C-alpha cells in the first residue's frame, strides 16, 4: 500500500481494492488516520472502501472478486475520455477462486486494456485457500528454476537487442520450465513473484510496470498478519477482530459467554448429528468453514465435506449436482453471499426441485461489517421462488428443529438465522435426536384479543412484553413459505388488527406475504408491517443498527401504540 501510493498519482490514478479487508493502511495514508479509532463503529469509518468516504475510494467493495472488473471499466473509461490515467486492481489469491475474476481477465486481456492487476498471494482467504489455482501458485513460487531461467534469458536477450525474437523466446522458455502460464494465456504480461514486504523492490518494480502498455499482472508474495506474531501464527483467528489488547492478543471467551452457543454453533452441532444419522448428508461451504460452524464436521466427515473456495455460484450448482445423484446436500452460506448465486438457486436447484438445504447464516443486521454484509433481503428474494420452503426460527432450539425439518423434506429449503448467540434457550431435545416441525404450521405463544402479533424469527422475544401489555395474541410464525393460512384465517375471525415483525426489508418480505394472503382471501383487517426500512444501514453495534431500523423494543412499542391510536 505504501509503495502504491508512493509510485502512483492518487487519487487521479485509480487503486481498486478487492474485498477491502486490507484497506486500513490505505485509509491512514489518505487523510483518515485520526478517524481510525472509530473504524467499523457507528458513524465511524467503514471496514471496507466506500465512495462515501472521499475521492481516494474509487469503488465500494466488500464482496470478493470485483476489483478486476471495476478496474477494467475505469481503464476503458479513461481511454474513451482521453485521460492519461493508471488503473490498478489489488486482489488476493483467495478471491481468485471466483469465476468473476477470470471473466474480467478474459475480457481485459482480449481488449488489450492498459491496467495492472496485483495478485497479493498470501496463501490465505478466510479459511485456508483451496483449489487448483492455489496449488498452481504454490508451484510457481517454489520453482526457482523458472525464475533463474527467466532472469538469465532476459539479460542475454536484452544485450542482443532482439526484442521481437526475445518475446517469442521468453514465451518458449517459460513453457519449458512452467508449462501453460495461466495469466499469460489470458493476455496478461506476468511479472513476479516478488516479495510483498520489500518496499524498495516494490517501488522499483511498480515504476517499471507503470511504463508498460497493455494488461499487466504483478504477482506479489506476502504473509497475512506480517509484523504481528500472534496474527502470523493464527491468521484465521485474526482475520476479522473486535477490540483487543495487542500485547495480550485475542482472549478466549469466558465460560459464561461460551455457555451461550451461537446460532452457527447450533448449526454445526446439528450438522454432525444429522450426518451420524444419515450417510447421504454432504456439506458445502464457499470458504466460510469457521464462520459457519463447520470445523467439527470437516474433521469428523472429511470425505463428505467440500470447501469450494470463494465461489458461491459454483457451490449452489455443485450442491444441485450432488442432489441429482441421491445425496442430501447442505449448503452453509451467509445471507449476503447467497445473493451472488441467485440464478443458480433458481435455475439449478429450485427449477429442478432438488432437495438442497440452505443453512443461511448472518440473516438480519451483522454489526461491524455493515450494509455490505447485512442479510436484509433473503426472505424477499427466496419466497418468490417456486418450490422453495423458507423458515425463520425464533430461537436456538427451534433453529435445530427447523434444520431437521428442512433436511427431511424432499424439496429446496432454506433456514435463516442471525449472527451471534440467541436467547440462551437450550435445545429442548437431546442432541442425538432430530425432531421436526409440522410443515407450514405456526404456533400460538399467547392467546389475546383484538390484536395479533405475528413474529417471523427472533423478534418474537423482543415483543413478548408488548403482547402482555396489549393483551395481544403472539404467534411464532416459523414458516414464511408455506404460510400457515389456516391459522391466519382463524386469527382474522378473532382479531381486528395485525402486526408483523421480521428482520428483513419490508418490501416483499414476510409481512407482504401475510398481506397478499389477506387480499387474495378477501379478508379485511388493519395490518402494520415492521421490518427493515428501504435504506442501507451503516456499520456499528447491532443494537444501534436495530435502533436505526426503528426495531428496538422501545421503538416497536411506540410505533405499535401510535398506530393503534390511529386505527382503533
Task: Looking at 358-502, list the stretches that DSSP marks H as alpha helix, in order from N- to C-terminal side.
Answer: 378-383, 396-408, 459-462, 464-470, 485-494
pLDDT at position 165, please? 45
Looking at the annotation, which residues are catalytic? Answer: 224, 312, 340
Cell of 23: 484497506
pLDDT at position 431, please? 56
Q: If you average pLDDT over residues 388-416, what whole number do you get?
A: 97
Beta-bridge mates of residue 218: 118, 191
d(CA 96, CA 108): 15
d(CA 275, CA 508): 35
Q: Which has the closest alpha carbon to 492: 461, 527, 464?
A: 527
> Any residues with CB less than 8 A from the CB of 253 and at least 6 apart, and which?
none
pLDDT at position 426, please? 59
∠557-563-567 over CA atoms, to 5°?
A: 145
Question: pLDDT digit string (tens) for 282-296?
Answer: 999 998 999 999 999
Task: Looking at 325-395, list the stretches that DSSP marks H as alpha helix, in order from N- to C-terminal side.
Answer: 335-338, 342-344, 378-383
d(CA 86, CA 207): 12
pLDDT at position 64, please? 87
d(CA 457, CA 438): 17
Q: Which has the closest alpha carbon to 418: 488, 311, 504, 342?
A: 504
What pTM did the predictor assign?
0.84
pLDDT at position 169, please? 47
Pairing mode of beta strands 189-195, 115-121: unpaired
Pairing mode of beta strands 473-476, 443-446: antiparallel
d(CA 162, CA 169): 10
Lowest mean pLDDT among 15-29, 163-177, 499-513: 163-177
Instruction: Please state, as a whole number, how many other Cβ atoms lie within 10 Å of the Cβ of residue 12.
Output: 11
Q: If you average pLDDT over residues 249-255, what whole number do you get?
A: 73
d(CA 423, CA 260): 8
Question: pLDDT digit string (tens) for 516-561?
Answer: 999 999 999 999 999 999 999 999 999 999 999 999 999 999 999 9
Q: Which has the closest alpha carbon to 282: 378, 200, 365, 359?
A: 359
Read off the pLDDT band of 178 (50, 70, 90).
Answer: very low
Question: pLDDT digit string (tens) for 430-440?
Answer: 456 789 999 99
- Whether residue 106 contacts residue 188, with contact meaning beta carbons closer than 8 Å, is answered with no
Percentage of the chain modeled with pLDDT above 90: 73
Buried residues in 531-554 as b, exposed as e (16+ CB within 10 A): bbeeeebbbbeeebbbbbbebbee
Tell me: pLDDT of 372 over 90. yes
Average pLDDT over the chain reads 88
pLDDT at position 127, please? 57
- Whether residue 345 contacts residue 377, with contact meaning beta carbons closer than 8 Å, is answered with no
Question: pLDDT digit string (tens) for 99-147?
Answer: 899 999 999 988 888 999 999 988 765 556 555 555 555 455 444 444 4
Strand ranges for 128-214 from DSSP E: 189-195
DSSP string, 508-532: TSHHHHHHHHHHHHT---EEEEEEE
d(CA 7, CA 460): 55
Tell me: pLDDT of 172 over 50. no
d(CA 219, CA 205): 11
CA torsion angle 398 404 410 413 (round to 10)? 50
User: How many CA atoms lie less than 13 Å away from 421 in the CB half-sphere?
Assistant: 11
Cell of 368: 461491524
d(CA 285, CA 125): 13
Amino acid at each position: 500500500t505504501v509503495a502504491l501510493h508512493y509510485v502512483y498519482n492518487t487519487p487521479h490514478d485509480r487503486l481498486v481494492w478487492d474485498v477491502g479487508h486490507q484497506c486500513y493502511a490505505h485509509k491512514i495514508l489518505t487523510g483518515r488516520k485520526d478517524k481510525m479509532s472509530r473504524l467499523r463503529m457507528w458513524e465511524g469509518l467503514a471496514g471496507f472502501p466506500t465512495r462515501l468516504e472521499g475521492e481516494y475510494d474509487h469503488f465500494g467493495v466488500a464482496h470478493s472478486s470485483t476489483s478486476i472488473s471495476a478496474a477494467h471499466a475505469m481503464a476503458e473509461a479513461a481511454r474513451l475520455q482521453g485521460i492519461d490515467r493508471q488503473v490498478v486492481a489489488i486482489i488476493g489469491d483467495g478471491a481468485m477462486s471466483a469465476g468473476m475474476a477470470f471473466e474480467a481477465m478474459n475480457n481485459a486481456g482480449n481488449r488489450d486494456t492498459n491496467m495492472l492487476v496485483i495478485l497479493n498471494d498470501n496463501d490465505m482467504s478466510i479459511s485456508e485457500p483451496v483449489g487448483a489455482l492455489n496449488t498452481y501458485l504454490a508451484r510457481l513460487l517454489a520453482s526457482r528454476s523458472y525464475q533463474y531461467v527467466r532472469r538469465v534469458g532476459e539479460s542475454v536477450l536484452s544485450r542482443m537487442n532482439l526484442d521481437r525474437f526475445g518475446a517469442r523466446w521468453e514465451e518458449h522458455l517459460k513453457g519449458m520450465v512452467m508449462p501453460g502460464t495461466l495469466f499469460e494465456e489470458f493476455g496478461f504480461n506476468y511479472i513476479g513473484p516478488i516479495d510483498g514486504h520489500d518496499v524498495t523492490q516494490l517501488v522499483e518494480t511498480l515504476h517499471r510496470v507503470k511504463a508498460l502498455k497493455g494488461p499487466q499482472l504483478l504477482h506479489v508474495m506476502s504473509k497475512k498478519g506480517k509484523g504481528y506474531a500472534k496474527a502470523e501464527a493464527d491468521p484465521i483467528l485474526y482475520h476479522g477482530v473486535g477490540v483487543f489488547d495487542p500485547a495480550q492478543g485475542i482472549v478466549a471467551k469466558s465460560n459464561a459467554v461460551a455457555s451461550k452457543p451461537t446460532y452457527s454453533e447450533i448449526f454445526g452441532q446439528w450438522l454432525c448429528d444429522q450426518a451420524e444419522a444419515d450417510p447421504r448428508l454432504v456439506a458445502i461451504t464457499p470458504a466460510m468453514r469457521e464462520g459457519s460452524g463447520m470445523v467439527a464436521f470437516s474433521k469428523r466427515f472429511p470425505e463428505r465435506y467440500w470447501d469450494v473456495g470463494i465461489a458461491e455460484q459454483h457451490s449452489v450448482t455443485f450442491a444441485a449436482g450432488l442432489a441429482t445423484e441421491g445425496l442430501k446436500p447442505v449448503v452453509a452460506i451467509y445471507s449476503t453471499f447467497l445473493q451472488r448465486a441467485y440464478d443458480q438457486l433458481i435455475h439449478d436447484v429450485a427449477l429442478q426441485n432438488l432437495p438442497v438445504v440452505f443453512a443461511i447464516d448472518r440473516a438480519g443486521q451483522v454489526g461491524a461489517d455493515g450494509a455490505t454484509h447485512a442479510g436484509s433481503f433473503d426472505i424477499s428474494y427466496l419466497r418468490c421462488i417456486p418450490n422453495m420452503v423458507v423458515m425463520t426460527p425464533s430461537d436456538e432450539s427451534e433453529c435445530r428443529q427447523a434444520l431437521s425439518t428442512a433436511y427431511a423434506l424432499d424439496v429446496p429449503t432454506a433456514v435463516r438465522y442471525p449472527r451471534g448467540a440467541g436467547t440462551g434457550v437450550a435445545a429442548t431435545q437431546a442432541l442425538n435426536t432430530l425432531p421436526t416441525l409440522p410443515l407450514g404450521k405456526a404456533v400460538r405463544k399467547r392467546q389475546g384479543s383484538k390484536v395479533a402479533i405475528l413474529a417471523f424469527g427472533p423478534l418474537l422475544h423482543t415483543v413478548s412484553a408488548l403482547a402482555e401489555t396489549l393483551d395481544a395474541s403472539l404467534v411464532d410464525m416459523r414458516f414464511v413459505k408455506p404460510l400457515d393460512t389456516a391459522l391466519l384465517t382463524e386469527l382474522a375471525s378473532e382479531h381486528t388488527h395485525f402486526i408483523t415483525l421480521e428482520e428483513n426489508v419490508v418490501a416483499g418480505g414476510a409481512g407482504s406475504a401475510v398481506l397478499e394472503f389477506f387480499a387474495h382471501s378477501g379478508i379485511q383487517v388493519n395490518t402494520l408491517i415492521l421490518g427493515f426500512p428501504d435504506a442501507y444501514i451503516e456499520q456499528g453495534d447491532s443494537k444501534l443498527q436495530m435502533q436505526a431500523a426503528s426495531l428496538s423494543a422501545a421503538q416497536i412499542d411506540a410505533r405499535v401504540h401510535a398506530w393503534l391510536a390511529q386505527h382503533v
